[in-house]
Amino acid sequence: MKARRKTWVAALLGLGALAIQWPAHADALDTLREFSRDVKSGRAEFTQTVTSPDGVKKKVSSGSFEFARPNRFRFAYKKPFEQLIVSDGKTVWLHDVDLNQVSIRPYDQALGATPAALLSGAGLERDFTLNAQPSRDGLDWVRAVPKVKGGNIESVQIGFKGHALAALELQDAFGQRSVIQFGEVAANVTIAEASFKLVPPKGADVVEQR
């Protein structure tokens, strides 16, 4: 895979969330728990900004996200280049459209305790240590730290505005910071099962990692 893709792929595999409205709750941690319990599917548009460890370089991408519990999701990145990340709960496909390359990995190896697993999976407090954080930037925050150490993800912070999940911040093991903002949200919608499968296009370079 070309060098310019590697930074993006690391962020792509670790991100995903929805802005969902809730009744009043005691704090953001309660809201996150209800998100995990009550929202069975959803879709949203997003904008993602990845900042380099020195805080100087920034890359911005945008696209759409769909999920259905447990562990099924579809990221469709549209800008600055097209990529698809699709999971049916057992397998994860990464399709780089420009390169016509498809990488295939088992779900557990590809994600594990990442934000995608946190927000589309079923093991919220099994896989993460959760703590409410002080409010900042007009949002209330929950910090989630993977219980299994040694992965690419150091921590995830989930921000709520009022009772809506509004932002996601990711700190990775390479010192990069990713921020995602959301819009055009729909919760508990019907999503076709075909959205969570990817058939490599004809002529694609397919790389399977087992």
- Please give the C-alpha separations between residue 129 and each of 37, 126, 149, 153, 156, in angstroms, as whole numbers: 17, 8, 12, 13, 10
Q: Which pLDDT does position 122 carry in this prediction?
A: 63
Q: How far apart are CA 139 and CA 162, in angstroms?
A: 7
- Per-residue model confidence as pLDDT tens for the chain (210 residues): 444 444 444 444 444 334 344 333 358 888 888 888 888 888 888 899 999 998 888 999 999 989 898 889 898 999 998 999 899 989 999 999 999 999 998 887 766 546 666 667 666 777 789 999 999 888 889 998 888 877 778 888 988 877 667 788 988 888 889 998 888 878 899 999 999 999 999 999 999 877
Stated pTM of the model: 0.76
The CATH classification number of 3-200 equals: 2.50.20.10
Contacts of 157 (CB under 8 A, 6+ apart): 133, 141, 142, 143, 144, 168, 169, 170
